[in-house]
Structure 1
Amino acid sequence: MRRRMHPPHRQSVARISEELGIHVMTLYKWRKAWRLQGEVVPASEKEPEGWNAADKFTVVLESAGLNATELSAYCRERGLFPEQVSRWRQAAQDANAKPVLTMAEQKELEKLLTQDQRVIKAL
């Protein structure tokens, strides 16, 4: 059952329910219990890039201490690529970083501040 809901051969809950005759709510409860245990069980049949943030973060946490060989094996089991995990790890690290403005954005901001100061002086 878990294999059918886990990557890389994941199937929708509706399809599994129809094929095996198990009530949909039972399958959702099982999936929720597995997720609470820390397993990666995507909410849909979407490709890994379409997974929600919680599933991606779980993958990042699970793969944090793995070397390159172990990471490759981990990714193969789940239908992922190491590059995806690297991008997700970088996104998690950058989540709380201050946004960096480009030169064009900085100039635009300075221009707007100057205009605001002129308007304030005019009042």
Structure 2
Amino acid sequence: MARYSEEFKESIIQKMMPPNNVPVSQLVRDTGISDATLYTWRKKALSQGISVPGNGKNPDQWTPENQLAVIIETAALNEAEMAEYCRKKGLFAEQIQQWKAAFISGVVARPASPSEQRKALNVEQKKDKQTIKKLERELKRKDKALAETAALLVLTKKAREIWGEPEDD
């Protein structure tokens, strides 16, 4: 089993992180290190607090956990520090602001309690039942109208066969 120096591991982890976002599959081809080892290094780096190890995806495809980690890291930064952080991570400040707004709007919207959810579900079910009844009544009415029209058509054809075509005066 090969042993790798900490500096080498860090350089590989840096390649996985933004702005490079080199996919693990490409690193396997380039370095010859197994994908399991690379995933282990990336997971270990994430658990040690190195935020957002890349996975070959652009920042818009990052998981909410990674987005939240970036939001937390940048919360106390001023504009110059934010710009430096964004350059280092391959991000735009606007992306971070959008993520922050999305998280805030998601947090502010209070989830409904189970009793409120049941009430809303019951109201929705009642509306659905009323709609179904209304549609069934309309369908019956249309079926009756169709049957009546078909009967009239049949009678008209029989009358023509018996008495012939009406004469014009």
Distance 1:85 1:37 in 2: 22
Instruction: Trace 1:97-112 onto structure 2 (pairs within 5 A).
Output: 97-98=108-109
Q: Report the TM-score, using the length of structure 1 for normalisation.
A: 0.76
Secondary structure of 1:96's partner?
helix
State the 4+ residue runs in structure 1 displaced beyond 6 angstroms.
Answer: none
CA deviation after TM superposition for structure 1 residue 95, in Å: 1.4
Runs of 5+ in structure 1 lacking a partner? 100-111
TM-score, length of structure 2 as denominator length: 0.57
Question: Aligned AA for 1:51?
Answer: W
The one of 70, 73, 83 aligned to 1:72: 83
Specify the alignment match of 1:107 in structure 2.
none
- TM-superposed CA distance for 1:93, in Å, is 1.3
Structure with greater contact order relative to length (CA < 8 Å, sep ≥ 6): 1
Amino acid at match of 2:73: E
**Per residue, is there more helix in 1 or in 2?**
2
Which among 57, 80, 83 is matched to residue 94 of structure 2? 83
**CA displacement at 1:18 relative to structure 2:** 1.4
Q: Which amino acid aligns with 1:6?
A: M
What percentage of aligned pairs have identical amino acids?
33
Q: Which runs of 5+ in 2 are unaligned?
A: 1-11, 111-122, 131-169
Q: Aligned runs of 1:20-59 on 2, under 5 Å?
A: 20-39=31-50, 40-42=52-54, 44-59=55-70
